[in-house]
Amino acid sequence: MSGSDAGATNSGVDNDDALVMRDVCHHYVAGTPVLRNLNVAVSRGEIACLLGSSGCGKTTALRIVAGFEAVSAGEVYLAGQLVGRAGFALPPEKRGVGMVFQDAALFPHKTIADNVGFGLQRFDRERRRARVRELLAMVDLEAHARKWPHQLSGGQRQRAALARAMAPEPGLILLDEPFSALDSDLRRKLSRDVRALLKANGMTAVLVTHDQQEAFAMADRIALMHRGRLEQYGDARSLYDRPASRVVAGFIGEGVFLPVRREGNRLHGPAGEWPAPAARELEGELEVLVRPDEWSLVAESDVVGSVLDVDYRGTGSLYRVRLAAYQEWPEQEIEVYFKETLRVGEEVRLRLTTPPSRIFAKRTEATPK
Ligand SMILES: Nc1ncnc2c1ncn2[C@@H]1O[C@H](COP(=O)(O)OP(=O)(O)OP(=O)(O)O)[C@@H](O)[C@H]1O
């Protein structure tokens, strides 16, 4: 494909989508795929997040969108325009994409104001000054306009980097682990602030992080990646409540997998028995995900456990409990969350408040983690 194809649009791509990654594949080393048929679309004004553990390919995906890496197969569209496919990659500077990196990457020998104004060369002097002032006010750094980057705190530098990326009003902002160098309180605050700023300015953004809390705090939709594949793409609630796979269930939130067995229309396990779901493909040896807040303490129950340890959480505590053998099921460790105070070693009687709904085929040695 020639560079002149860069302006081509594709009728199959929704023009409301700021970004479409369609069946994107990538490898650095032949035979070792890093991205496998990745499909992600981001609507205009939306904040999306690529979430996953280290090495799952999220930074590679972001670099492909920015134009720093080419795809091996598949296509990338920005605002309906084809910008990447095998053998063709529109250069980064022609993509209208702003970037914020983990370490801010401000120019060390430019003031904060000059950093923010860097992408505004096409503006005349007065307009540029006014826009820089507006942006510095937006990220609450007016008082620091004449300082050098090393004179700012980490959080201030990230805000300056965001202002620099937003200055030319790009169609898309990419944020690569932007808060990972900051302490957890500041991360939380900055995630909220940055989301509010992006939303107030109608910006579209893609965030990369391995931190679920950050993804939940910032993103409208989260693409959970694992080993180069997309496991699920949806809002935080759907990932938490309705994980599409065991990988998602294990990555998002707390909880343990308990073994269960289907017998006819009943599920049997170490914490009782329940009606089985209709899905017939879930047969034989299965596992259910049980969240810590899905247990209740009861006076009467055959499900008995003893408290192993306590993680105090302020409004309540997360307890690790060892269930005694129940019917033919051996001992199991579970996590339970209660407001009640329990002592280590105390015996507890438990019941699941609702029948388990997140049911998966049991993982075997051959199943990827
Ligand atoms: N330039 C490169 N050359 C060869 N292999 C690479 C290169 N960059 C990344 N990889 C490999 O590609 C895979 C995906 O890396 P990538 O950085 O995209 O993952 P990630 O999910 O962003 O991880 P992290 O959270 O640790 O940054 C990893 O196995 C990594 O070792």
Helices (H), 271-363: none
Distance 60 CA to ligand 1 centre (A): 6
Lowest mean pLDDT of 148-152, 181-185, 197-201, 231-235, name the range: 181-185
Closest residue to atom 20 of ligand 1, CA basis: 55
Mean pLDDT, residues 320-343 taken together: 93
For residue 51, the one-letter residue type is L
* Whether residue 199 has its Cβ less than 6 Å from ligand 1: no
**Which residue among 25, 27, 28 is best mutated to probe the pocket of ligand 1, counting the most ligand atoms within 8 A of its Cβ?**
28
Band (7; pLDDT cuts 50, 70, 90): very low
- Paired strand residues for 336: 319
Mean pLDDT, residues 125-136 taken together: 91
Taking the complete model, does pTM exceed 0.90, yes or no?
no
Lowest mean pLDDT of 87-91, 100-104, 331-335, 341-345, name the range: 100-104
pLDDT score recorded for residue 280: 64
- Paired strand residues for 320: 309, 335
Atom of ligand 1 nearest to the CA of 59: 22
Closest residue to atom 12 of ligand 1, CA basis: 34
* Whether residue 34 has its Cβ less than 6 Å from ligand 1: yes
Distance from first CA to last CA of the chain, Å, rounded? 39
Mean pLDDT, residues 183-209 taken together: 89
pLDDT score recorded for residue 97: 95
pLDDT score recorded for residue 327: 87
Band (364; pLDDT cuts 50, 70, 90): low
* Whether residue 362 has its Cβ less than 6 Å from ligand 1: no
pLDDT at 275 over 50: yes
Is the Cβ–Cβ distance between 305 and 348 less than 8 Å? yes
Report the complex ipTM. 0.96
**Which residue among 56, 101, 180, 210 is best mutated to probe the pocket of ligand 1, counting the most ligand atoms within 8 A of its Cβ?**
56
For the record, the structure tokens of 176 come out as: 């690569």
pLDDT score recorded for residue 354: 87
pLDDT at 368 over 80: no
Distance 220 CA to ligand 1 centre (A): 25
Indicate the average pLDDT of the chain: 89
Residue that is written with structure tokens 């914020």 in the block: 100
* Whether residue 27 has its Cβ less than 6 Å from ligand 1: no
Distances (CA, A) of 191 to 38, 186, 197, 261: 26, 8, 10, 42
Distances (CA, A) of 310 to 297, 307, 324, 337: 16, 8, 18, 10
* Whether residue 57 has its Cβ less than 6 Å from ligand 1: yes
DSSP code string of 291-310: -GGGEEE-SS-S-EEEEEEE
Band (8; pLDDT cuts 50, 70, 90): very low
Closest residue to atom 30 of ligand 1, CA basis: 55
| Phi, psi (degrees; rounded to nearest 5) at 152 | -105, 155
Band (264; pLDDT cuts 50, 70, 90): confident
pLDDT at 365 over 80: no
